[in-house]
Structure 1
């Protein structure tokens, strides 16, 4: 996973959206089957719902297969562009082919970065007058079964980090958020010319670097605080392999690139002979850092913290119970950071398998997961790869029993996601027009399993389908209930929204406008992006019996079957209208003191609601019509046209100009927060404009807020026109 996703704008799992789900019922199918057998004396084909039940019944017997696949995929570190990762592509291809699926590899030549050299020295002035050069090395644990390949783990670094040297007093900036710098400014602390020390968490690491640069820092060191990743930093805390927590030498590596896809080919496909931007041109776009940075361990971060004097940091800036007092500086500790990266054009490999649809082969349901990892990648991402292979295995078995989906199902295994959604973005950019006209939905699983507890995010029209799938799968941690039962009784019984740029759903939803889902078991986990995210960690702490993997694969496949097999697409845009109504209300207090009107937005949402009711009633009327003897005269083109309207309505929420200053993000309803790419914002363009206007407080800035409201209102109106299907 490139970036973890924090979601806002959520729908409760319990209950249904207004208008109910638009899903064909088993009862209707059985009535049709009975009628045909009596009237035409023929044998009606096995109902699709029977295959759905059979798919679920193939579940708990195959945790061994999932475990074996995960073990094989994580035997060696496999960073994008390396021979080891090419080997995993070959393994995925051969496994999919063994299920009798039509499989192939599509390769791209993309610009990736790797570390050449890095040093970090801490100097303490008199009276201490000492100097420490950190070894920046993650330690092998006792009886580590992967010790023989530990040397293949890349030195800890930030992908696409600026090469250079940064020298200056150190300032502690907490999580490096905008509000943290506001706090330092209020304390009278000058960050200009310093090296910022930030701790991981809360926001995307690339935003930590960017905001440090904007505050005047010359370099950034980011550490994994034991308070957040080491079990609270309490005395006597146990670490992996004895417990799930990050060892003191563990380092979270990752990308600090703020865009999506190959930075040297923004908006077009990376091939061996394509046009590429120079390093200077890439920097001018503003998506790569302009100051050097390094990730370090909790132990190294602790040593740096102890060198800082000055004012005591706020309580919520402090470390764990066994930590020293955190002060903000600047200095007297003095850091000398040096990093040199090597940017090269490397070959990456996306792997695909296709089950062609029997009735609508030109309508695609995509299931996606990435394969590349910073080290061994047992959670991130290969728990998802193992689940993807399990879904493919089960559908391959259904094909042998005579099943074919109504629509085409495509399995997508991406490369170079960790660098910035590179593999998926390059494929989407190459196939943009075809995808825009033919994809029904994109279903993403990245970190399939890290702990207990099911989580899902989606565009709102897919909420009901997700709930129904979860109701059909047994809870892997409590056999007396379903996943849905445990979900609605959890601490977070919500379906999130896909605004953050967290994984491979972003190019589909935020760039093209494809309805999307992302799901997982568990959430944040302490050994994220470190060399300790290995098969042993998963076996001991993440999913000892691999039943959570099975549950994710079951839900994933059932959602895919619902989209691929139902005659009418199971989309409920009433849920969407309700979601937009609630999100719009959040702006009322923010603009109440200004001459800003939300009326255009509310009117457009009302149009969407009416269009959703109309198309739902139309579908209901067609279903009821079919119980009469004239049902065989139904117009198949009418069904096709209705489904196309349901499919294309999401596209209408995009705007060709995209978000202001971030034109790649075309979706005006869901997109990343400007200051935190982890964050998910509803109406991100309006939100960005309000935040800017609050700072400038000028007539022009508030006029920009009104302009963004009008922009959103227009795309929502466009979506209602698509659902309505009638020209004005």
Structure 2
């Protein structure tokens, strides 16, 4: 595995053996030092000391693939053919015992267990802060105690957001000239699935949107509400005092509304267009091509979601854990800073969206025919830009959101390492959901639980991992990755010094359009590579750069810990890889009927992750390949050079030397990585000091790419090489500071603006030089 903020799997790691065909495919069946009041620790089972104690030592692919995001070190899938399962190598000196353990774990991983667990956990909506979500936490904790794990529950008191009650539902209305409502959007999604029959359904809402009522006779359609969309109509319209309609997709929903705020809008309606979430040919009058007949979004489906932008975690305590000793900002202060939204919003399905878009059909001089990519596929809608509504009509948005501080709970199940208990390998996912969450997040949660179950069985044979394994379940991820971010904020120093890697499993099975895991196509790796060659003509699987879409973000961007995010995805051409995302239709029935009827994909993901965890925890030398990081650095540098607009702007400012220095730094890192990997291959296992030293260099390499003061306009993001885009939290970007500093229109004589660009170039060169020096003592026999 390569330690990188992108993704890759080591050419020599025994992790790669999980990618090879097996004969077992037959089954279808740390108490806080400062504050202990909110941390519950179980001592019923043996385990390592709690977090605060001293220990014994001081990229989702758009085709079939396992998306390995080594963000802040994204773990990478083997670029070469994996070794045979029993073949000795520098990470696996006891190949016979390793093969035995691997096979047992494979054989024990059960699709039947996975299906049963998902059915049970997804039976009710379980929003963060609710009694239903606490019930899941209690169930998981009981299960882990039964496995003999040491368990821990960390409590944080954080700001959450909830919609109005039944008497005060959030809504959008069309008003006639006499002020009467002639159309009101649905405040609940239609029941299309027996799994939806519950009184606990959460109505559609956008968390942290401002409460209040706004009304306007000036309404505009702004496509996806991206920065490019706003620039395309700049000078053509004035959005001050308007209500904007836009469709989900392309960028994070919070970025859409923040841009609308900045352009003077007073409210935003966001809907799912069938162009992006259902095949246009199937969205006919009967909608037989949508759920519950297919996996595509029905007309009443509404995507919920958070509106926080700027950083993740509890918005009232940035940089600090939300404990009883922590100073908190007010909601008003956070909203004024632009972290919480300053205007009301209303999400809706395309059945409702059509009625609001039809208002714009007859507005003169508002065609979007010259704007590429602005047309959706709702029948009868012209997708006009809009303006002043005809006939004295207005649109009104009423938002009754309430912000409340509530307790959330992170859960941990711990297996103590036998040799290096102070080195942690973490596997996690969140367990909260906007609704039933059968896909997001429980499809990943059940794989975490199944992996923990089979490891508990291996413990019964007398096996113990070399390093400590920690299973993690995060709370309040849907709100803004809150649980995981509070954890990394509280335990920053401990985690930076002791964590080898964090593996994330958020929604690992999204589309059925992939070869079956038990097909004759070969291993997962074989199929992955074959699909990549077909799509991109590459000779190794592609990986995606780190974004901020799930719980690996804090480990990556804040702490510089290697992470991986793993999933099966299909080759669909739709904006959403999972059309029912964050709707009430993401139920067990949907998974069972359309995504993974036999739960074989879930089994394949669980087996893959189990072997990855075993390899990371048991290999004498941590299975990271530093050359993979060097290869990725060269790739993203070439990609930077391919952006002619950026290169021309840098050249106009005589910054070619800075680019040359960046290239020299990458070349030097690549050369040193080559020497370092050769050193690793020749290590003497009997020299415990040398083994520990090399492992420390591998583990800490990713931290070298952090800059203490953060990147441009985001001091909370420390990783200089890979981070989410400033304009879209869902998109990972290489050299984010450089790219984002050049994204705005800097005038040729804007000294301050160009100094920012120079500063970001300097940071990139500096951290790469630092990473090179971190490998020198082994590679070149000197400290420098």
Give the TM-score normalised by the residue count of structure 1: 0.88
2:233 is the alignment partner of 1:176: no
Work out whether residues 119 and 588 of structure 2, in 8 Å CA contact, stay in contact via their aligned partners in 1: yes
Q: Please give the alpha-carbon distance, in whole angstroms, between the structure 1 residues aligned to 2:92 and 2:278.
A: 59
For the pair 1:591 / 2:641, whether they are aligned, the reply is no
| Residues in 2 aligned to 1:441 and 1:88: alpha-carbon distance in whole angstroms | 26
Match of 2:754 in 1: 702
1:596-607 equivalences in 2 (<5 Å)? 596=655, 597-607=658-668
- Give ranges in structure 1 of 5+ residues lacking alignment: 34-44, 455-473, 627-633
Q: Distance in 1 between matches of 2:323 and 2:91?
A: 51
Residues 317, 479 of structure 1: CA spacing in aligned structure 2 closer, same or farther, 3 A cutoff? Answer: same
Q: What is aligned with 1:80?
A: 128
Is residue 302 of structure 1 aligned with residue 354 of structure 2? yes
Off by >6 Å, runs of 4+ in structure 1: 4-15, 20-25, 29-33
1:446 to 506, 510, 513: 506
CA distance in 2, matches of 1:141, 1:374: 18
Q: Against the structure 1 CA distance between its residues 196 and 31, is the aligned structure 2 distance closer, same or farther, given a 3 Å change threshold? A: closer
Matches of 1:145 and 1:368 in 2, distance apart? Answer: 26
User: Residues 417-428 of structure 1 correspond to what in structure 2 (within 5 A)?
Assistant: 417-428=477-488
Instruction: Measure how far apart 1:605 and its partner are.
Output: 1.2
1-structure distance, mates of 2:92, 2:430: 42
Shift of 1:141: 1.6
Choose from 381, 394, 406 the match for 1:346: 406
Task: Tell me if the contact between 2:354 and 2:378 (Cα under 8 Å) persists in the aligned partners.
Answer: no
Where does 1:132-171 land on structure 2 (aligned, <5 Å)?
Answer: 132-141=183-192, 144-147=194-197, 149=198, 151-168=199-216, 169-171=218-220
- Tell me the residue number matched to 1:502: 549
| Distance in 2 separating the partners of 1:14 and 1:360 | 25
Separation of aligned partners in 2, 1:210 and 1:453? 35
Q: Is the 8 A contact 1:196 1:212 kept in 2?
A: yes
SS in 2 for 1:667: coil
**As a proportion of its length, which structure holds more helix?**
1
Distance 1:129 1:107, change over 3 A: closer
Q: How far 1:29 moved relative to its partner?
A: 8.0
Q: Where do residues 581-660 of structure 1 align in structure 2 (5 Å cutoff)?
A: 581-588=634-641, 589=644, 590-592=646-648, 593-594=651-652, 595-596=654-655, 597-622=658-683, 634-660=686-712
1:571 correspondence with 2:624: yes
Alignment pair present for 1:16 and 2:79: yes
5 Å-filtered alignment, 1:649-688, equals 649-688=701-740
Aligned to 1:516: 563
Count of residue pairs brought into register by the alignment:
677
| Partners of 2:683 and 2:547 in 1: CA distance | 38
Query: CA offsets, 1:335-387, max 9 Å, x none?
Result: 11121221111111111111111111100000011000000000000000111
Using the alignment, how far apart are the partners of 2:213 and 2:131 within structure 1? 31
Cα displacement (A) at 1:436: 0.3
Unaligned runs of 5+ in 2: 1-58, 571-576
Corresponding residue number in structure 2 for 1:40? none
CA–CA distance in structure 2, aligned partners of residues 285 and 716 of structure 1: 33
Q: Give the aligned partner of residue 470 of structure 2.
A: 410
**What residue in structure 1 maps to residue 425 of structure 2?**
365
Q: 1:652 to 1:693 in 2, by over 3 A?
A: farther
Contact 2:683–2:690 (8 Å) recurs in 1: no
Alignment partners' CA distance in 1, 2:516 and 2:148: 30
| Bigger shift: residues 228-237 or 376-385 | 228-237
Shift of 1:479: 4.2
* The 10-residue stretch of structure 1 (233-242 or 156-165) with the greater mean CA deviation from structure 2: 233-242
CA distances 1:44-102 after superposition (whole Å, capped 9, x unpaired): x962233123222333xx11110110011111000000000000111111222232222
TM (norm. structure 2) is: 0.82
Corresponding residue of 1:105: 153
Listed as ranges, the matches of 1:380-419 within 5 Å are 380-419=440-479
Alpha-carbon shift at residue 663 of structure 1 (Å): 0.9
Secondary structure at the aligned position of 1:702 is classed as helix
Deviations along 1:166-192, whole A, 9 cap, x unmatched? 211210000000111112226x12222
Q: C-alpha separation between the residues in 1 aligned to 2:516 and 2:723?
A: 32
Using the alignment, how far apart are the partners of 2:96 and 2:84 within structure 1? Answer: 18
Alignment check: 8 A CA contact 1:475 1:482 kept: no
Measure how far apart 1:16 and its partner are: 3.0
Q: Does the 8 Å contact 2:60/2:569 carry over to 1? A: no
| CA distance in structure 2 between the aligned counterparts of 1:23 and 1:567, rounded to whole angstroms | 18
**Alpha-carbon distance, 1:521 to partner:** 1.6
